[in-house]
Copies of this chain bind each other. A is one copy, B any other.
């Protein structure tokens, strides 16, 4: 099994991109990553696109072949990889395995989604296409609905407070304000949420006990990476970062079938596999991008991956341990909460952000000093298909 390096990364600003088609966004992010890798466009053997909604939203399929043509990368092989909100992570995995297998040397992985083409209930309905078609979807359960129930259980079992949830939103929106790629750049304060009467309007209940600011926005966006075997890097222009570990696990599709619905088994398993393969442990990680589609998820995942004991994540968040400069900075990018969550893009964007961290390329107010190892967690469904990647800076 060959070590696989990330030799190029690129992202376009997430948000509302009415002027771009899905294909435009995929192409822009790809060109940035290819440029970052210093590659001419004849150098890619295969392309993987992470996308969930091309068929449902854009009424468009086979977008990977189309992208290869658009980028003049013919006759490179191409596939779309779909795995709900973990489609981006699954595309990164596809690229990793493709290079590791020896079949391909240079692989472009790009994730993207144009979600704002559908708004309001249609956006929620689009994401709900991942729910169970017989026992969930017809009854109207949505992802925010599941997250609400999960949050209530978590609050009751572990004494998590709304203050803890809000602290995650405040931290991530603050970081979003510093990130030029973030969708949400608006800072929020504890006082604004708890003491300002306007919060009833500005931050209404979305799915009790979750409020609007506990959820990620509906965003357009794309991100891309270029992979190649580490052994092929002779004198890299930038510090090489390898995918040192990868893990993935599935769980029951419906929450009610789980022995303990607050136990995100697939997160635990995916992270364990990734750490094992990387021969690292949670305490070796210097920076992490977790899948905070809802504030509770950042807290829950920070426990399940092993940064904190079960039930300690909320306290850690309140104590600032997950802030830049803290014990383990989480979602310095702003996370899904603020960078945004164009579903197919997210898993790739997380890797891009960690690569920037490990190359030490970010401005001071966002850079984790001397970061050598990073972790990403991309959470599909409601935790029924989770991917984790451990990235490591290597010296060449």
A interface residues (Cβ-Cβ under 8 A, vs B): 1, 21, 23, 52-56, 58-62, 64-66, 68-69, 73-84, 90, 93-94, 97-98, 100-103, 129-130, 132-134, 246, 248-253, 265-266, 269, 380-381, 384-385
A100 to chain B, nearest CB (A): 4
CB closest chain-B residue, reference A80: B82
A53 to chain B, nearest CB (A): 7
Instruction: Report the separation of the CA atoms of residues A65 and B248 in the bound assembly, to the nearest whole angstrom.
Output: 11
For A129, the chain B residues whose CB sits under 8 A away are: 55, 59-62
For A23, the chain B residues whose CB sits under 8 A away are: 133
Copies of the polypeptide in the assembly:
2
CB closest chain-B residue, reference A74: B250
For A252, the chain B residues whose CB sits under 8 A away are: 69, 74
A77 touches B130 (CB 8 A): no
For A130, the chain B residues whose CB sits under 8 A away are: 60-62
B133 touches A75 (CB 8 A): no
| Given A55-B56, A101-B1, residue A83 in contact with residue B74 (CB < 8 A) | no
For A66, the chain B residues whose CB sits under 8 A away are: 132, 253, 384
CB closest chain-B residue, reference A2: B101
A-B contacts, 5 of them at CB < 8 A, read: A61-B130, A69-B251, A75-B251, A78-B83, A100-B101
A109 to chain B, nearest CB (A): 13
For A81, the chain B residues whose CB sits under 8 A away are: 79-82
Instruction: Report the separation of the CA atoms of residues A97 and B73 in the bound assembly, to the nearest whole angstrom.
Output: 21
A69 touches B133 (CB 8 A): no
Across chains A and B, which 9 residue pairs bring their CB atoms closest together, nearest first?
A: A62-B84, A55-B55, A75-B249, A101-B101, A65-B385, A62-B130, A77-B248, A100-B101, A55-B56
Instruction: Report the separation of the CA atoms of residues A81 and B36 in the bound assembly, to the nearest whole angstrom.
Output: 27
A64 to chain B, nearest CB (A): 7
A310 to chain B, nearest CB (A): 19
For A248, the chain B residues whose CB sits under 8 A away are: 77
CB closest chain-B residue, reference A265: B75
For A1, the chain B residues whose CB sits under 8 A away are: 101-103
B97 touches A83 (CB 8 A): no
For A68, the chain B residues whose CB sits under 8 A away are: 250, 385
| Given A250-B77, A251-B74, A253-B69, residue A84 in contact with residue B100 (CB < 8 A) | no
Instruction: Report the separation of the CA atoms of residues A251 and B78 in the bound assembly, to the nearest whole angstrom.
Output: 11
B76 touches A250 (CB 8 A): yes
A367 to chain B, nearest CB (A): 32
For A269, the chain B residues whose CB sits under 8 A away are: 75
A266 to chain B, nearest CB (A): 6
A83 touches B101 (CB 8 A): no
B249 touches A77 (CB 8 A): yes
Q: Which of A66, A68, A80, A132 has the most CB of B within 10 A?
A: A66
Instruction: Report the separation of the CA atoms of residues A130 and B250 in the bound assembly, to the nearest whole angstrom.
Output: 30
Instruction: Report the separation of the CA atoms of residues A69 and B253 in the bound assembly, to the nearest whole angstrom.
Output: 6
Instruction: Report the separation of the CA atoms of residues A82 and B392 in the bound assembly, to the nearest whole angstrom.
Output: 31
Instruction: Report the separation of the CA atoms of residues A269 and B253 in the bound assembly, to the nearest whole angstrom.
Output: 41
B133 touches A65 (CB 8 A): no
